[in-house]
Chains A and B, each alone.
Chain A
């Protein structure tokens, strides 16, 4: 109980500081030719969160994510001068189909939305997140100079 409460509090506080960091990233001009660090950070954390979901929930997440991305594209299309009535209707129909699939999938007995505590994740080794290579993998620790440089030394000499 103590451990779970501590984890929850740590997560909550990390999320708060993440919000502050992304505000800083949004107002900081990105380097030419590089994506905004806020986008990259959001994608990284979203991927890490999605990897903690069970198979069913992860599929639901991806379907919902696609749907809302299309909605955003549709909202921005008129502003970007790409307004095309036929295209909008087609996208709307696609979204409806996706929405129906998502709901059907979420409530079907084979693919119901299970959390990472459910059987969907039981095949994973305890505590291991898919994006983190397992200790037994053949990953070479110093083999990613580019990533190293991106991550830097963090907040103190590392």
Chain B
């Protein structure tokens, strides 16, 4: 039975979402940053009021968070190589955002339904690196244009797509997953009934299965995490709980996508406010979800900055000791190399990445992560490619490489 308070919360949530829908890029980024900051202050205020903030555990965590954030802020504010790398990282992120957002104009997509093959040719003509993001954006627009009175099926099956390069399939599936998630997540709120939420998520899971080629469904499922964490962050724990009942496999992909989303959130580009590497530790409700989220974050961090391996080396310098605690980080890095090898065999940037000589201070950490992943760079993957969109224990992953 809905209470007056939950009705009011629901009304405020719906109107806030309607406003968010009509914000531009910059104002949305401003909203996201300001909202996260004020929520942080409000949480702290309530923690003080309820005396939780005086627990030793809380004080310890707060202290270490402040210390880490200060280090991050100094990295950006003090002139030098780390500052240059931070600026470069921001530029890379912005470039990726533009590539995906403006794919419609870049590839001169026609209105309504379109043939994939000629547009894929245009996407690949953009060159290595931009092609990856253009193909994901194209998958999104293809699904969005696939209108009709019936629930779509077989969208990416050969009968509908015609002959298209196999190398485009992973990112095309990620793209259609984005379109499904975007549409369906708008129909539910944290105050919808559990039944409504469950039915919507079941529909999403089924849509991805019905429209994917065998072995690629996971790439589409993963996008649910990206959409939910970015635009409906309050829904993350609710979606997690429901997916646990509906499809545990989809839940793991969901967390991988949620980790990927953390990398692109505007709040994480404000120095000293938040770090995705701190958020990723606190967001996930269990160890498997945490490892998937870390793998997703490592995946995004590596692929966006693949042309400047020094950015990854700088991350290892700052957080390497945390990142090598388990195999989630290396799973994300290796997944990028395997996927890039599949999408653009003999990729120029991958070859340069693997030739990179890190500074002496991080050489050991580099060898234990990126260096180890590079040993498998020319291997073929003997599993379904969807599996690289979720965390797999390193032994399991490497056993599938020939």
Contacts and interface: CB of A to CB of B under 8 A. Distances in A.
Could you say which interface size class chain B belongs to?
35 or more
B19 interface: yes
Interface stretch (A89-97, A104-112, A123-131): A123-131
Given A126-B191, A142-B147, A158-B227, A135 B5 contact: no
A139 B145 CA distance: 15
A158 B113 CA distance: 19
Contact of B112 (A7, A20, A125, A145): A145
A43 to B, nearest CB: 10
A31 interface: no
Contact of A6 (B22, B39, B137, B145): B39
B23 A21 contact: yes
Given A48-B15, A140-B149, A145 B266 contact: no
A127 B191 contact: yes
A129 B8 CA distance: 12
Contacts of B43: 2
Contacts of A135: 184, 187-188, 192, 195-197, 199-200, 203
B39 A132 contact: no
Given A14-B31, A151-B21, A143 B39 contact: no
Contact of B10 (A40, A126, A155): A126
Given A126-B2, A157-B100, A15 B19 contact: yes
Most buried by B among A1, A44, A51, A129: A129
Contacts of B42: 2, 5-6, 9
Interface residues of A, number: 59
B331 interface: no
A158 B140 contact: yes
Contact of A48 (B18, B145, B199, B203): B18
A81 B200 CA distance: 54
A13 B35 CA distance: 7
Contacts of A126: 2, 6-7, 10, 191-193
Contact of B190 (A121, A127, A156): A127
A117 interface: yes
A136 B189 contact: no
A11 interface: yes
Given A6-B39, A52-B11, A127-B189, A14 B147 contact: no
B371 to A, nearest CB: 29
A51 B17 CA distance: 13
B contacts with A: majority SS: helix
A141 B136 contact: no
Contact of A143 (B10, B22, B35, B147): B147
Interface in A1-50: 1-11, 13-15, 17-18, 20-21, 24, 40-41, 44-45, 47-49
B90 to A, nearest CB: 13
B381 interface: no
B46 interface: yes
A18 B179 CA distance: 25
B377 interface: no
Contacts of B15: 11, 45, 48-49, 52
Contacts of A139: 183, 187
Given A128-B191, A157-B99, 20 more contacts: A4-B5, A4-B9, A7-B8, A10-B39, A14-B35, A17-B19, A17-B27, A18-B27, A20-B27, A45-B15, A48-B18, A49-B18, A125-B192, A125-B196, A127-B189, A141-B203, A142-B146, A145-B113, A148-B144, A158-B227
Query: What 6 pairs between A and B have smallest CB-CB spacing?
Result: A127-B191, A48-B18, A126-B2, A141-B183, A127-B10, A157-B100
Interface of B: 2, 4-32, 34-35, 38-39, 42-43, 46, 96-97, 99-101, 104, 111-113, 133, 136-137, 140-141, 143-152, 178-180, 182-184, 186-193, 195-197, 199-200, 203, 207, 226-227, 230-231, 264-266
19 contacts: A7-B8, A14-B31, A18-B22, A21-B24, A44-B21, A48-B14, A121-B7, A126-B7, A134-B187, A137-B187, A141-B179, A141-B207, A142-B146, A148-B179, A153-B101, A154-B28, A157-B101, A157-B137, A158-B227
